[in-house]
Every structure is written in structure tokens, then in C-alpha cells.
Structure 1
Amino acid sequence: MSAATSPTEESSTSLENNLPEFTPMPWKLREIRAAIPDRLFVRDTRRGLAWLSLDLLMAACCWEAALFIDPTFSSRVAVQRLSPLGAEMARWTCWLLYWWFQGLIFTGIWVIGHECGHGAFSPSQWVCNVVGFVTHTVLWTPYFSWKISHHRHHCTHASMERDEVYVPKTRSDLGIPPESEGKIDYDEYFGDTPIYTLFTLIRQQLLAFPAYLLFNVSGQKTYPKWTNHFDPGSVLFTKEQRDVVLISNAGITAMILLVREACLTWGAAAVVKYYGIPWLCVTHCLDGFVYAPEQREWSFSRGAAATVDRDFLGWMGRFFLHDVAHYHVVHHFFPKMPFYHGPEATKYLRAFIGEHYRHSDKPVFKALWESYNECQFVEDTGDVLFYRNKKGRAVLRPAERYRTE
């Protein structure tokens, strides 16, 4: 040990040296594309419309069933047979079931709009834009504005310098000194109680997506302070895209007027029960965490491989959410591939990229809690960066050729 090295520094270095090494994926996108049959890239308008029709039918049936919840369990017969307490418990149980399943159905409809934004719903751009605009607008997403920024996110996914959203905070962003300065009390920076952590996690899951659209929360830090998806002059858009941003804004304005009219007609409480709470489920389900952000050694294929396939809610996630989480990796490689080809395409992708394919079968809420607690920040410098946890530790380290120490 040199005189300039403290025991704390040696311990920290030793821990880092014991981590498994990570080497970025070497293949180019065209090589990976060649490993997947051409038929899996074919987009079928009728098949896409069939899935959308099923989603809309399920949403209508759930809505219709929900209309009977309050009258049924408030009736004299229900109160007599179940007792007042029993009838009330049954009523709220039915509302919870409605919110859960209608929320999943709404999210599936949003996913269809997301498919349209990528051009995966149909080979016709006109069909994609009409379906995408309607399905996203009714779920409070400015279709064209989101389509533009989300396309850029896919093109630059996992790049610290260029990605549009989920850009990690760095050590300096949080004011944490470098490890070289000696012992760091990470509890001073991350010592929140579990209750407070749960509160912030719930807040994130319910409000993060609207906050990103409105205020660029978790977006690229180099953008101006008031960056948002509703300003046609925003840095997010070019001058040529101004008109479609205004069309998106017009759609959201129409939704505001429709919801206002619905509140005046049926009451705000009814609108919240039948529509508002299921919509909150949509904001909860949209995206996952970035696994391994990369900086100067970034490429499109490496960025695509930095996401994870998750067994999100089992069969419910597969059926209602159109495999958006189960086969998310192949989607990042090939956004124009229809979701219904995801399962088969993933088999070819996994066989080709091997250990660079990532899958997690952890229960989704456990994975969410662990990710929220483990993915805190990344270093300020380096060619390949990994999230560090509340103790300042990572789970992987770059291979020697990518280390800058």
C-alpha cells in the first residue's frame, strides 16, 4: 500500500476488482438483423386492427360491467344478504378489480398507439398516424410530439450524452465526492427511511411520465430548463415538425374539453372512477429502467442490448399489454417489428447475441423496488458506465480495455 492510499480506498478498490467484467457487444445491427427471418418483420394492418378491436371491446365490456357495481351492492337485497359491511366490502372489491383490469386494457391500447408511432402497426403511415393519434390522445399522450422524442430515444438508447429520457444522475449531479477523496458516508446522501422511499417510488410510478412530457423530468440534462413536449419551439423538435406538435396539442386540448364536459354531465367523481384511476395504471406500466448506460463506446446495437426482458405480470402482461415488457429487447433492436412477432424473433436474437441478451423473471414489484434502490447514479467519466447503489457499489465493471483508471 502506498503512503497516499488509505485503507478505505484499498477496500473500495478491492471490492471493484472482484466484480464480474463486462465487454460491450461486438456485432453491428445488420449482422443481428440477418439472423432473424424476414417474415418476422412483415406488418399486417388487419392483424393490428384485430388486436385494437379486441382491446376496445374489452374496455367497453369492463365499462359496462362497472356501471352495475354501485347499484348492485347498494340495493336492499345486497345489504340484506351480505350485511351493510359485507355489501360495502364487495362493492370496493369490484371497483379494485375494475381499476386493475381496465388499467391493463387501457395500457394495451396505449401500446397499440406506441406501435403506430414506430410504424409497426401497419405498412401504411397514414393508418399508423390516425390510429396512433386517437389512441394516444385519449390517454393523454401528445402523439406526434411523443413519437418524435421517443424515436430519438430509440436511436440513442443508453447513451449518457444523447439519450432523451431515463438519463441517470451522475456522482457530481448528486454532489457526491469521488472515491479517491476517502471514506464517503453514503447514508448522508441516500439514507431515506423505507416509508419515504416507498412514497417517492409511488410518486415516480404515477407521475413520472406526465412530468417528463411537461417538464423534461428524467430527460436529457443538457436541454434548456423549460423543455417540454407541448412547445413547438422546444429543442426537442425541428422547425419542420412544428405543425404536427400543434396537432398533438390540439388533440390534448380536445381531451381537456371532453373531460370537462363529462365532469359537468356525470360528475367529477364518476369520471375519476371510470376513467381517471385506470389511466393512472397506464402511467405506471409504461417503461422500465436502463440497465447499463454507455457513454463514448456507445452504438445503436449496444444501446438496444442494454434493456431487459421481464415477465411483467405473467399471462396478464403478455395478453393485455401485448408483450411490451416480455419481449422489449428485440423491440429496441427493431422498433418496426410488430409486437406479435416478438416471441419468435427473441428466440433468434437470443441465440445470436448469447450472454448479451438479458432476461429477468423476478416478480415485477420486487424488481421495481430493487431497481429503485440499486440504480442511484453513475460515475462522471468512463467509456462504459454502470449504475451504483446506495452504498456506491456496482454489480459489474468494464473489461480492462474500457477502464479509464
Structure 2
Amino acid sequence: MGKVLLTQSQRRTSGTYKGRRSDDSDLPEFKPLPWTLQEIRASIPSELFLRDTRTSCLYLLRDLLMASVWWRIACYIDPLCTSSFTRETASLYGAEALRWLCWITYWWVQGLTFTGIWVVGHECGHGAFSSNKWVCDAVGFITHSFLWTPYFSWKISHHRHHISHASIERDEVYVPKTRSDLGIPKAHAEIDYEDYFGDTPIYTLYMLIRQQVLAFPAYLLFNVSGQKKYPKWTNHFDPNSILFNKQQRNLVIISNIGMLAMIWLVRQTIGAFGLASVVKYYGIPWLCVSHWFIMITYLHHTDPDVPHYRKGQWNFQRGAAATVDRDFLGWWGRFFLHDVAHYHVVHHFFPKMPWYNGEKATEHLKNFMGNHYCYSEKPVFRALWDNYNKCQFVEDEGDIVFYRDKHGRSTRRPAQ
């Protein structure tokens, strides 16, 4: 069973549904993080904050070499599986089954490898790849443009996400919907929550798949899941967007040039090799990147047991603590994804810390923070389904709030 601050046996549920009314008085209490950022930083050895460009480049080189190897191996899939020898040996249907199995294997490993390359670009955006800003921006711009992410534009909004995480008024992404956003009456009313959340598991699965495939492009293009107070049509490609100031205008334009270069490159590649080849070798692995990235970040920031803050209760370190480390895909996640999901809490506290020091730093952070450190060992696909159903909305009032589920129930309450 998963563990995030509380064991499952410690949790209780509360709410008002199907004519029954109750309050949250029987829920476990939550007390926010009491320490300053300086106290937390002092708990981690200073050498773990040092960035080594050579080490970072070796990780990137490893990923690029792996991507090249997987691509080269995939070039033999269709010739091998459609050869007369294979069809005579395994039968026509057996050869086709083998062909699909090989392509699925390629999409799995190449999708993870591409995601690892995207993670390296993400670290560049934080300045964790190198102490040299130009090196970070050059590597980040190339790797993110290759994977359809406007590097500088996303870097700007992602930085604001880090400095405002878990603030309902200021965070940039995964901002929770409120009771009034969904048109649900106040908690003291008699409510039949089935009227608001009575969808079928099939429909929930459809919505979840849609999120996994489209959420990141939708965020970049339409600010989906972003700050609700922003104007309509807010996006990451408009240099005049509210997301950016005047000094950042040229950086947004450079990011757009990177996207235009990719459009040109893909069109040239399709003309040379055909649409089917581009989809098989590049398109589907890129869709896997979008899926893994959204799944990782969603599970980092969305959980019934982590708080969201309003007004004077929020500060940087409390927001940084309101994220969850997870055992994401076991060794696959650790090797291919550079531990980005396993050690995300320390990353939110100190985003310039190199990712390859995350494990050691997390041990020190965990020892210092105790129960304020959030970790879940729940299988990630189970966590994705559970959290998608349990994290529906937060209350309109309260300086510290927790998600409520489809029955209006929460798992925790702030201490008085």
C-alpha cells in the first residue's frame, strides 16, 4: 500500500453526500512546515549543491547514444519481420505479431529515452546542468525544441511555478478547481454529489487518457490547468502574453523559432522517408514523452494528502514540501528518467541542485523533515487512477485546504 504522510489505516473520510451530512472534525490534523529555508538547506551537505558540467554532459551523451542505438535497431524490424524466412518460419500471423511486439518494445524504450533527454533539458532550465548559463540554455534549447517544448517560454513559466508552488492565487500549473468553479453548493447544504460526479468508470478512463495524451500541449497552447485568473487565450507562444514581461519578449520569439525549425525539419523528413516512418520512429516515442511527463508531474503535485495554501499561510518552503516523491517504474524510472520522479521534493526546495545528487540529498532532507516529507510507494498507475478520482476540488474558503473526492470527502484537515 502507498504511504504519503499517513498510512491508509490512519485515514478517515468525511463529507456530505446522498443526504448525509458530516464535518471534518474527525480527520487527522495537518500542521504546516515550521522551518525556514535556510534551516532546511543547512541539513544538506554543501558539496551536493555543486554542479559538474562534465558529469551532466556524460548523462546527456549516454541518452543520445541510447536513442541512436534504439533507432538503428528499429531499422531492422520491418525487413526482418516481413522477410520470407520469418513468414515461413513463424507463419504470416506469427510474423505480424512479432513485428508489433518489436515496435511496441521500441516505443517503450525510445519513449523513456526521449523522456530522459527532456528531463536533461528541464534541468538546464533550472541551471542545474552547469554553472555556465550559456551552456545550460544552449543544451536546453536544443533538447526541448527537439521534443516540441518552447524552451525559454516554458522555462519562464516553470520558474514561476517553482517559486509559487501550492499557492492557489499564484501557482502556474495544477491549480485545483474550487467548489464554486464546479458549481457545487457549500458544504453545509444537503448535496447529492452523484449529480456532479456520477460519471462511469469508462468515461473517467477516457478523460484520464485524454489528459495523458493532450494535457501538455493544451497547457502550452491554452493554459489548461494553469492559473484561472489569466485572460482567455493565454499561451506560451505569444510574446505579449501575460506570462511574460517586456524583457522576456525576445526569448519567447527565439523559442518560437525553435518550434518553426522543428516543423521544417519534420516536413523535410516526411518528404524524404514518408509519414509512416516519421510516426513510427519519432512521433509515437514523442507521444510517450508527453504521457510520461504529464504522469510524473501530475503525481508530483496532485494527492489528497498534500495541502494547498492561500494568503499568509503560504511560503516558499511550505509550497516546496507540498509535493510527493514516488517509486516511478522502479529501475526503469531511475535509469531512464534520471530519478526525476523519485527525488522531486528536494528538487522543489533546491532546483539548481544537480539531479544526480538527488538521492543523497533526499536522505538528509528526509531525516530533517520527518513526517513533513511526502513519499508514496503505491504503484504509479494505481496512484494515477486513485488521485484522478479523489482529487476533484478544494473549498473556496480556508488558508490551508485539501482536495475532496467525488463524495465531497477529504482525508485531512488543518490544525486549529
Please tell me the TM-score bracket, short chain as reference.
Answer: over 0.9
Q: CA deviation at 1:12?
A: 3.4
2:92 to 84, 99, 119: 84
Shift of 1:265: 1.3
CA drift of 1:288 comes to 2.2
Residue from 308, 324, 349 that aligns with 2:340: 324
Answer yes or no: is 1:186 the counterpart of 2:196.
no
**Retained in 1: the 8 A contact 2:29–2:412?**
yes
Code of the residue aligned with 1:240 in structure 2: it is Q
CA apart distance, 1:13: 3.0
The answer for the alignment partner of 1:140 in structure 2 is: 148
Which residue is equivalent to 2:310?
Answer: 295
1:361 aligns with 2:377: yes
Say whether the 8 Å CA contact 1:21–1:397 is kept in structure 2.
yes
Q: Measure, in 2, the Cα distance between the counterparts of 1:9 and 1:275.
A: 49
The 5-angstrom pairing of residues 5-404 of structure 1 reads: 12-14=21-23, 16-181=24-189, 183-286=190-293, 287-289=297-299, 290=301, 291-296=306-311, 297-400=313-416
Listed one character per residue, the Cα deviations across residues 220-273 of structure 1 (whole Å, up to 9, x for unaligned) are 000010100000000000100000100000000000111111111111111111
Structure 1 residues 2-36: Cα deviation after superposition (integer angstroms, max 9, x where no partner): xxxxx98996334x111101011011111100110
Q: Which moved more, 1:380-389 or 1:282-291?
A: 282-291
Secondary structure of the structure 2 residue equivalent to 1:335: coil
Gaps of 5+ in 1: 1-6, 401-405
- How big is the shift at 1:107? 0.3
Please give the per-residue CA displacement for 1:143-178, whole angstroms capped at 9, x wherever unaligned.
000000000000000000000000010000000000
Counterpart Cα distance in 1 of 2:128 and 2:380: 26
Q: Deviations over 1:70-126 (max 9, x none)?
A: 110000000011111111111100100000110000000000000000000000000
Q: Which amino acid aligns with 2:155?
A: K
Contact 1:161 1:295 in 2 (8 A): yes
Which deviations, in whole Å up to 9, do the C-alpha atoms of 1:331-357 show, x marking residues without a partner?
000000000000000000001111000
Distance of 2:343 and 2:104 partners within structure 1: 28
Conservation of the 8 A alpha-carbon contact between 2:339 and 2:355? yes
Counterparts of 2:174 and 2:67, CA distance in 1: 31
Provide the rounded CA distance (Å) in 2 between the counterparts of 1:174 and 1:108.
36
Change (3 A) 1:11 1:233: same
Residue 288 of structure 1 aligns to which amino acid in structure 2? Y
Question: Deviation of residue 295 (structure 1)?
Answer: 1.3
* Structure 1 CA distance for aligned equivalents of residues 168 and 19 of structure 2: 29
2:346–2:365 contact (8 Å) kept in structure 1: yes
List per-residue Cα deviations over 1:369-388 (Å, max 9, x = no partner): 00100000000110101000
Aligned residues: 392
Taking the aligned partners of 2:121 and 2:21, their CA distance within structure 1 comes to 47
- Aligned equivalents of 2:403, 2:292: Cα separation in 1: 22
Displacement of 1:188 in angstroms is 1.1
* Counterpart position of 1:403: none
RMSD: 1.3
The TM-score, its normalising length taken from structure 2, stands at 0.93
Asked if structure 2 preserves the Cα contact closer than 8 Å seen for 1:295 and 1:382, the reply is: yes
Question: Unpaired segments of 5 or more residues in structure 2?
Answer: 1-15
How much has 1:292 moved relative to structure 2? 2.0
2:127–2:352 Cα contact (<8 Å) kept = yes
- After the TM superposition, which segments of 4 or more aligned residues of structure 1 sit over 6 Å from their partners? 7-10
The 1:72/1:9 distance shift into structure 2, 3 A limit, reads: closer
Q: Which deviations, in whole Å up to 9, do the C-alpha atoms of 1:208-229 show, x marking residues without a partner?
A: 0110000000000000101000
- Aligned partner of 2:216: which letter? F
Quick check: 1:201–1:372 contact (8 Å CA) kept in 2?
A: yes
Q: Which amino acid aligns with 1:63?
A: W
In structure 1, C-alpha distance between the alignment counterparts of 2:174 and 2:88, rounded to whole Å: 53
Q: What CA distance in whole angstroms lies between the structure 2 residues aligned with 1:384 and 1:10? A: 27
Q: Structure 1-normalised TM-score?
A: 0.95
* 1:191 shift after superposition: 1.0
Asked if 2 retains the 8 angstrom alpha-carbon contact of 1:9 and 1:179, the reply is no
Amino acid at match of 1:219: G
Say if 1:117 and 1:143, in contact at 8 Å, map to a contact too.
yes
In the alignment, the residues of structure 1 paired with residue 298 and residue 116 of structure 2 have an alpha-carbon distance, to the nearest angstrom, of: 16
AA of the residue aligned to 2:324: V
Q: Distance in 2 between matches of 1:8 and 1:153?
A: 34
